[in-house]
């Protein structure tokens, strides 16, 4: 049955195992009933044999007492011819042994024991009377006395025959009863064997048909799945080609858009620097808005280029010290940090197999966010910590691998966690462009970087309290070359509710 577990659904496996179990139970039950019926039949046969032995012994007693009767009558009729006493003398010593054997046979039948006691007395009386008659003939007593003994002996002989008949009828009744029971047990045995064999056969046929149908259904399903898999592989290949073309187009388009945008910015700055005095106040305002929009457009194109490079570049994984990554970012943003009056609390962070440039982008975007979304009346406090993660607590992680949990926390403005599914999507913003600068691509880049490293990212936040970004990354990567062809962006997971 172990093989069934690998190929059959649980419900079908249960039905099949139930069918075979029922068949096995019927077989065991059949053996049990057959053994019981056979045992009863054997007992009945034994009792039949027992009754037959009793009947035979009773017939032997009747034969012996008849020899006694015939001997005494022949001796009387022949006026003392001794030849007639041979059967008489031969029969007399056999009575004790025959009666003893009958007593052994009827020891379990109280009624027959009582009859046997009476029979013994009647036989003794008959033998005594026969002996007296023989003695009367031998002693030449008057014939009338001998005939009187003969008449009394006949009466006693009739009583012996009557009791033997009664005992024989009792044993014959037992014989008939046991014969009927034996026949009934034999018939029941045959019926039980046939019925249970038929039920077992039907159960096995049903179970076999169920198994065969399920295997056929499974084979058809597997054939369909193979066809679907082949079709899916073709679609995946077409999708990969399409994604590569789209990413290449985005990269080329973003790169080519930089040139006219730089011209717009250059001529805008020249116009403002050389002809500012000749412009009206409204004209100068319009020009500044154009330059601001061009600057924002430039940042958006740069972010798009970064987003596209993460997908297109295949960089090798190397050993990366995250403390060095964070320290480098703090050095690059030193002026911004001092201007904001920010304070950093950084633990000893782990060493991972990762892409160095992508780790730079990841922590740069998270630190920039923490410095951007601050409260105006409170200096930012940013905490960066790392610890071992527990893969068993998160379903998306692979058991048996080592993961680290990294957190970037701030005391900024925070956000409502109902928007957590939106913040990691490209161009998604929770605040207006006038309130906080930005392109809405930074967190999408973070999510793609984490996905490329087979990790997970989410956030916990409350409005007015602050935000904590949580990143789970594996210590080791299973492949040595970065390959994003099969990377899929899953929805952010939830840690701690």
How far is 56 from 49, CA to CA, in rounded Å? 10
- The two structure tokens encoding residue 183: 């026949």
Tell which residue, 1, 96, 91, 105, has the closest CA to residue 51.
105
Protein fold of 318-497: Heat Shock Protein 90 (3.30.565)
Give yes or no for residue 10 having a pLDDT over 70. Answer: no
Distance CA 262, CA 269 (A): 10
The DSSP 8-state label assigned to residue 416 in this structure reads -
Cα-based angle 405, 407, 412 (whole degrees, multiple of 5): 165
133 vs 145, 155, 157, CA distance in Å? 8, 14, 14
Flag whether pLDDT at 286 surpasses 50.
yes
Question: What's the confidence (pLDDT) of residue 245?
Answer: 67
pLDDT tens sequence across 191-235: 877 787 787 777 778 777 777 777 788 788 888 888 888 888 888
Per this entry, what is the length of the chain? 497
Instruction: Give me the mean pLDDT over the 404-411 stretch.
Output: 90
Range with lowest mean pLDDT among 29-43, 363-377, 421-435:
421-435
Torsion on CA atoms 475, 347, 442, 495, rounded to nearest 10? 70
pLDDT at residue 145 is higher than 80: no
Question: What's the pTM?
Answer: 0.45
Please give the pLDDT value at position 408.
92
Contact (Cβ atoms closer than 8 angstroms) between residue 375 and residue 392:
no
Task: Quickly tell me which residue has 């970065």 as its tokens.
Answer: 482
Q: Where are the domains of the chain?
A: 2-215, 318-497
Angstrom distance (rounded) from CA 122 to CA 293: 142
Cα 332 to its chain centre, rounded Å, is 58
Q: What integer pLDDT is reported at residue 309 of this predicted model?
A: 62
Report yes or no: 386 and 406 within 8 Å, Cβ to Cβ: yes
Q: Does domain 2-215 have CATH number 2.60.34.10?
A: no
Contact yes or no for 443/365 (Cβ under 8 A): yes
For residue range 22-76, what is the model confidence (pLDDT) as tens digits? 777 777 777 777 777 777 777 777 788 878 888 888 888 888 888 877 777 777 7
Please list the alpha-helical segments (H only) found in 276-343. Answer: 281-312, 322-332, 334-340
**Integer Cα distance of 178 and 47 in angstroms:** 7
Contact between residue 459 and residue 420 where contact means Cβ atoms under 8 Å apart: yes
């Amino acid at each position: 049955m172990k093989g069934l577990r690998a190929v059959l659904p649980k419900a079908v496996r249960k039905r099949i195992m139930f069918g075979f179990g029922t068949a096995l139970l019927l077989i065991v039950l059949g053996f049990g009933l057959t053994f019981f019926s056979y045992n009863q039949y054997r007992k009945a046969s034994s009792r039949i044999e027992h009754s037959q032995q009793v009947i035979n012994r009773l017939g032997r007693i009747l034969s012996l007492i008849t020899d006694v009767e015939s001997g005494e009558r022949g001796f009387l009729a022949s006026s003392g011819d001794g030849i007639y006493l041979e059967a008489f003398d031969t029969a007399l010593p056999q009575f004790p042994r025959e009666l003893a054997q009958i007593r052994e046979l009827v020891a379990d039948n109280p009624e027959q024991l009582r009859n046997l006691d009476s029979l013994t007395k009647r036989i003794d009386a008959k033998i005594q009377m026969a002996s007296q008659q023989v003695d009367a003939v031998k002693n030449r007593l008057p014939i009338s006395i001998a005939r009187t003994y003969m008449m009394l002996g006949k009466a006693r002989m009739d009583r012996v025959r009557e009791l033997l008949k009664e005992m024989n009828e009792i044993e014959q009744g037992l014989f008939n009863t046991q014969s009927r029971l034996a026949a009934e047990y034999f018939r029941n045995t045959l019926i039980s064997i046939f019925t249970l064999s038929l039920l077992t056969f039907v159960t096995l046929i049903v179970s076999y048909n169920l198994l065969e149908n399920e295997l056929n259904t499974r084979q058809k399903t597997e054939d369909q799945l193979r066809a679907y898999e082949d079709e899916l592989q073709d679609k995946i290949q077409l999708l990969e080609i399409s994604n590569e073309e789209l990413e290449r187009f985005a990269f080329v388009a973003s790169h080519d858009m930089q040139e006219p945008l730089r011209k717009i910015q250059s001529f805008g700055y020249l116009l403002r620097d050389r002809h500012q005095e000749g412009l009206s106040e409204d004209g100068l305002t319009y020009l500044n808005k154009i330059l601001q929009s061009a600057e924002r457009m430039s940042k958006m194109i740069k972010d798009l280029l970064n987003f596209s490079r993460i997908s297109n570049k295949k960089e090798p994984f190397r050993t990366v010290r995250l403390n060095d990554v964070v320290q480098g970012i703090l050095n690059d943003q030193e002026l911004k940090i001092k201007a904001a009056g920010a304070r950093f609390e950084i633990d000893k962070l782990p060493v991972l197999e990762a892409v160095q440039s992508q780790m730079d982008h990841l922590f740069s975007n998270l630190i920039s966010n923490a410095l951007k979304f601050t409260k105006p009346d409170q200096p930012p406090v940013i905490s960066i910590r790392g610890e071992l993660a527990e893969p068993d607590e998160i379903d998306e992680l692979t058991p048996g691998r080592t993961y680290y949990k990294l957190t970037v926390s701030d005391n900024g403005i925070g956000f409502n966690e109902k928007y957590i599914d939106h913040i990691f999507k490209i161009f998604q913003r929770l605040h207006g462009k006038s309130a906080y600068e930005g392109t809405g691509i930074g967190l999408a880049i973070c999510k793609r970087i984490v996905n490329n490293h087979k990790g997970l990212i989410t956030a916990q936040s409350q409005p007015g309290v602050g935000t904590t970004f949580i990143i789970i990354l594996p210590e080791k990567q299973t492949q040595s070359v970065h390959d994003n062809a099969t990377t899929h962006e899953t929805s952010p997971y939830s840690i701690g509710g």
